[in-house]
Chains A and B, each alone.
Chain A
Amino acid sequence: MDQTAVLEGGMARDAGAERGVADAWRRFRRNRLAVVAFAYLVIVHGVAALAPWFGLPDPEAMDLLNQFSPPSSEHVLGTDETGRDVLARLVFGARASLAVGLAAMLVAVAVGTALGALSGFCGGWPETAIMRLTDGMLTVPTFFLALLVLAVFGSNIGNVVLVIGLTGWMVVARVVRAEILRALPQEFVVASRALGASEARMLVRHLLPQALPSVIVAATLGVAYAVLTESALSYLGLGVQAPTPTWGNMLSGAQHYVWKSPVLALYPGAAIMLTVLSYNALGDALSDTLDPRHAGS
């Protein structure tokens, strides 16, 4: 935060916030890779959201007389092993993969923030219990836990989201707790406590906003984890089930034809890779941009 903003109080605080955002944007813009990644993500999410309005062929419609056909005006990226349009599957696959990724991230952030805030704010035995649970979860190989849970409870989109979310909240919890512990002794918190603010109000109005930048960074990296995990689960046949296309199950289907038509694996593979890399680049850039310690740099 800008020193002047704090000193000038009331009115100036908004201006300071505005300048903070402008600063952040300026710093962000300097990171070329992050800008490219961000643009890519905007496009991919836009395409996924608008998928039904592009007039693409039905991604699930098989055409057995048109297997492995090369790119044409009708099938821009050609067709797969059962004559389904590869482009349509890629676009509709993005829908499923990204939706699962974002939803799982929301679950992870919600659980992580709640537990992190609770432990940082309450202290005492709840803190100990929650943090030991977090440490415990961090030692569990979460991917295998996810495999086990899906094998036992069956794999549908809801379960996949829950499993990825519930195995990805630990980092968020730790970050939120750390931010709250950092903020607790600061003057504005002490002041609001002195003014008689309720505990809930303090937590929601004063402490959690302090954790927000770090949560955004963790959430961004969390999407990358979720997309990658969903792909891996679908690849192993435990993710989103056919006929719904996802990048992961497209890749899984393509592996049987790597000798015959390697591009079938290339498209979803590249889509997963670019999306995960972009989210990582964006997360790194956001952590540079939003971290108060970098302020004014």
Chain B
Amino acid sequence: MRRVLGAVLAVSLAVVIGAGDARAQGGPPGVLQIAVISDVTLNPFTLPQQLPTLMVSKVIFGTLTRYQPGDGKPVGDLAASWKTMDDGRAWEFKLRPGVTWHDGKPFTAADVKFTLENIVNPQVKALFRSQLQGLQRVDTPDDLTARLVFKDPMPALPIVLGYNIYIAPKHLLDGKDLNTLDEFIRQPVGTGPFKFKEAVKGSHVAVEANPAYHGGAPKLHTVVFKVVPDVNSVVAQLRTGELDLAVVTANHRDTLASAPNLAFKVTVLPSTFYLALNNARWPFNDRLVRHALMHGLNRELMVQRLVRGDAPLAGGPYADAFGPYVNKDLKPYPHDVGRAKALLAEAGFTPGADGVLQKDGKRLAFSLMVDKGNPEREQIALYAQQSWKQLGADVKVDVEEWSVYIKRGNQIPSGDYDARTSWRITSADPDKTAEYTTGGVNNHYAYSNPEVDALMAKARSTVEEGARVAIFRKLQEAIYRDVPVVWIYHQTEILAMSKRVKGYPDLGIRDALPWVHQIAVP
């Protein structure tokens, strides 16, 4: 017991000392220090560890397209130009000439063919295979032309290709087991602005400037990705200048607001956070109940007070990041408890003896599942519980381990839950077949509306931009009327950035990293 107490005291002492405000110093000039939450394994196909690996991959590897600062439109990276053929079923990409791999070998269409065909190869556990679903083959009429042939039209292909489809070197990887790549991950070779230098487990990954980069020599000489798993340490290191860039929560932005060396950048992501209602289960199969739960929740207050970070209130699944496809006429449903109660009465619910509403002898009782460990999401679940209780619903909050949450929730045609907190981040491709059509792979809440299915299919096969926009706006109306889930807000990324950092492109960190050669740290 005494030893335990001693340990507790030692830890608290360390926390107190750590909290002392050290002077902001910053790293050496020409070196950018970015936080990642775990070690990375630089396999451009399987991308283990996901986000941290993606961040490092974005500076080492190239993609065919990337997103333009400001408006986020897809522009060329390894591709110089492209055009569609065969009603959007085929796309021809002209590659940028004179690009070389970090080992000096030339980059050609053969690399593109090798990479893309392996991503859709079922033997390879490529993380982003579903994005290229329907890719039949890649033709290479010459060294600088790649023609992608799909089963169905792919109107948003240039957006999709910029979203983590890294091109890998055929001359080094051909014939290797792409799921492991033991040798390659120790010394990865790409076409990006930075070359791999070293990786020290539990400490950092360092990359150095590639002077031969096709976009011009980088202004930095080194980028260091520091492995900092603990968010309180990230905050402390931002303050002291040991980190130049890190994604933080709204809560930590408030903490850091007083730090003179830091600035913040907020980006709305193509993502939505919502409370999923299992449409396959009673009482959520009744649209009136779903509407009532939507009206009964003060989402505006939740966003202001629990989420913050300037997150916009969501009226549907389309964040501003989806650009022209967003139907701005659809305003988020207002908070109106009276309306909510009236809707429940209309649905046939009457107060029971225990104060809980009931219909045909069934109590309005359900559980709300939330993944464990994230205070913001737990607070949202608890607040929804409290708000819906006021409507007369008996809600039980069910806090589950991440693995259980995923296993129970991520099933089709419907997950094993009544309601749960959920969110989805995608590319800016407005196609939401996976989320909002009958049987869609991410439609775990069993939403089904034949009108939406038909419109989504029509949008997929429509290449002409104006017509596509019109279809997407129309299908949003149908989804909006149905309230399949209770949308709450569109997620934002809050980037804390040292004021030493110059030339940071107007994009979220994920999309900004392919432009890292423009960033300077004098």
Contact = CB atoms under 8 A, between A and B. Distances in A.
B306 interface: yes
A48 interface: no
Interface in B362-406: 372-373, 375, 378-379, 382-383, 385-386, 397, 399, 401
A64 B399 contact: no
A82 B4 contact: no
B15 interface: yes
Contacts of A237: 372-373, 399
B383 A82 contact: yes
Interface stretch (A121-129, A205-213, A250-258): A250-258
Contacts, number: 61
A64 B235 contact: no
B399 to A, nearest CB: 5
Contact of A253 (B255, B375, B385): B375
A61 interface: yes
9 contacts: A61-B386, A62-B379, A62-B383, A62-B386, A64-B302, A65-B301, A81-B379, A151-B401, A243-B385
Contacts of B399: 237, 241-242
B232 interface: yes
A64 B375 contact: no
Given A64-B305, A257-B251, A260-B251, A228 B4 contact: yes
B353 interface: no
Contacts of B382: 60, 62, 82, 242-243
Interface in B245-271: 251-252, 254-255
A260 B4 CA distance: 28
A10 B397 CA distance: 62
Contacts of A273: 8
A64 to B, nearest CB: 4
Contacts of A62: 379, 382-383, 386
A164 interface: no
Interface in B300-316: 301-302, 304-306
B1 interface: yes
A242 B378 contact: yes
A65 B372 contact: no
Contacts of A61: 386
Contacts of A241: 399
Nearest to A276: B5
A260 B375 CA distance: 15
A62 B305 CA distance: 11
A224 interface: yes
Contact of A259 (B255, B378, B379): B255
Interface in A189-226: 221, 224-225
Contacts of B372: 237
Nearest to A61: B386
Most chain A CB inside 10 Å of its own CB: which residue of B254, B298, B305, B383:
B305
Given A65-B305, A242-B399, A258-B232, A221 B386 contact: no
B253 to A, nearest CB: 11
Nearest to A269: B12
A260 B1 contact: no
In this complex, the interface size class of chain B, counting residues with CB under 8 Å from chain A, is 20 to 34
Contacts of A276: 5
Given A237-B372, A243-B397, A64 B4 contact: no
A291 B461 CA distance: 87
The listed residue with most B CB atoms (<10 A of its CB), out of A82, A258, A269, A277, is A82
A67 interface: yes
Contacts of B235: 259
A114 B34 CA distance: 58
Interface of A: 60-62, 64-65, 67, 81-82, 151, 221, 224-225, 228, 237, 241-243, 253, 255-260, 269, 273, 276-277, 280
Given A82-B305, A228-B4, 14 more contacts: A60-B386, A62-B379, A64-B301, A82-B383, A151-B401, A221-B1, A237-B399, A242-B399, A243-B385, A253-B375, A257-B251, A259-B252, A260-B251, A260-B254
A228 B4 CA distance: 9
Contacts of B298: 64
Contacts of B252: 259
Interface in B273-308: 298, 301-302, 304-306
Contacts of B375: 81, 253, 256
A82 B385 contact: no
A270 to B, nearest CB: 11
Contacts of B255: 259-260
Contacts of A225: 1
Given A64-B302, A151-B401, A258 B15 contact: yes
A82 B387 CA distance: 13
A221 to B, nearest CB: 7
A159 B232 CA distance: 31
A277 B2 CA distance: 10
A255 B373 CA distance: 12
Contacts of B379: 62, 81-82
A273 B6 CA distance: 12
A67 B1 contact: no
A228 B302 CA distance: 34
Contacts of B306: 64, 82
Contacts of B304: 64
A209 B444 CA distance: 61
Interface string B9-43: 00010010001000000000000000000000000
A202 B458 CA distance: 87
Contacts of B1: 221, 224-225, 280
A242 B302 CA distance: 18
Interface in B451-505: none
Nearest to B386: A62
A65 B300 CA distance: 12
Complex A-B, nearest 4 residue pairs according to Cβ-Cβ distance, in ascending order? A259-B255, A64-B305, A256-B375, A237-B372
Nearest to A255: B232
A256 B251 contact: yes
A225 B378 CA distance: 28
A273 B1 CA distance: 12
A255 B383 CA distance: 20
A151 B304 CA distance: 34
B7 to A, nearest CB: 11
Nearest to A241: B399
A64 B304 CA distance: 9
B145 to A, nearest CB: 53
A277 B375 CA distance: 30
B386 to A, nearest CB: 6
Contacts of A67: 305
A81 B235 CA distance: 19
